[in-house]
Amino acid sequence: MAKSKKIAEIAKKTSSFCPGCGHGVVIRLITECLEELGQDKNIIFGIGVGCSSLLGGVLETDRLHCLHGRAGAVCTSMKRVNPDNIVVAYQGDGDAYSIGLAETTSAAYRNEKFTAILVNNTNYGMTGGQMSNTTMPGQKTTTSPMGRDCAITGNPIKFPELVADQFNAAYVARGAVNTPANINKLKGYIKNALEAQINGEGYSVVEVLSPCPTNWGMSPLKAMERIENELIPYYPLGEFKTREVK
* Residues 6 or more apart whose Cβ sits within 8 Å of residue 162: 105
Cβ within 8 Å of residue 189, ≥6 positions away: 173, 174, 175, 206, 239
Q: How would you classify the pairing of strands 115-120 and 204-209? A: parallel
> Which 81-110 residues touch ligand TPP, going by CB under 6 A?
92-95
Cα–Cα distance measured from residue 235 to residue 178, given in angstroms and rounded to the nearest whole number: 13
Strands (E), 48-147: 62-65, 86-92, 115-120
**CB 52, min distance to ligand TPP, A:** 5
- 3-state class of 103 per DSSP? helix
Q: Could you tell me which stretch among 75-83, 118-126, 183-191, 199-207 binds ligand TPP (CB under 6 A)? A: 118-126
Does residue 131 touch ligand TPP according to CB under 6 A?
A: no
Binding partner of residue 18 among Mg ion, ligand TPP, ligand SF4, none, CB under 5 to 8 Å per kind? ligand SF4
Number of residues that bind ligand TPP (CB under 6 A): 18
Backbone phi, psi, residue 124, to 5°:
-85, 95
> Is 50 a residue that touches ligand TPP (CB under 6 A)?
yes
Residue 92 binds Mg ion (CB under 5 A): yes
In this complex, which beta carbon is closest to ligand SF4, that of residue 31 or of residue 215?
Answer: 215
Smallest gap from residue 199 Cβ to ligand TPP (A) = 29
The torsion of the CA quartet 71, 77, 82, 88, rounded to 10 degrees, works out to 20
Shortest distance in whole angstroms from residue 133 CB to ligand SF4: 16
Least distance to ligand SF4, CB of residue 18, Å: 3
Count of H-run helices and E-run strands, the chain: 12, 7
The window from 30-38, 54-62, 86-94, 218-226 that contacts Mg ion (CB under 5 A) reads 86-94
**Residue 90 site contact among Mg ion, ligand SF4, ligand TPP, none (CB < 5 to 8 Å, cut-off depends on kind):** none
Please report, as ranges, the residues that interact with ligand TPP according to CB under 6 A.
48-52, 68, 92-95, 119, 121, 123-127, 132
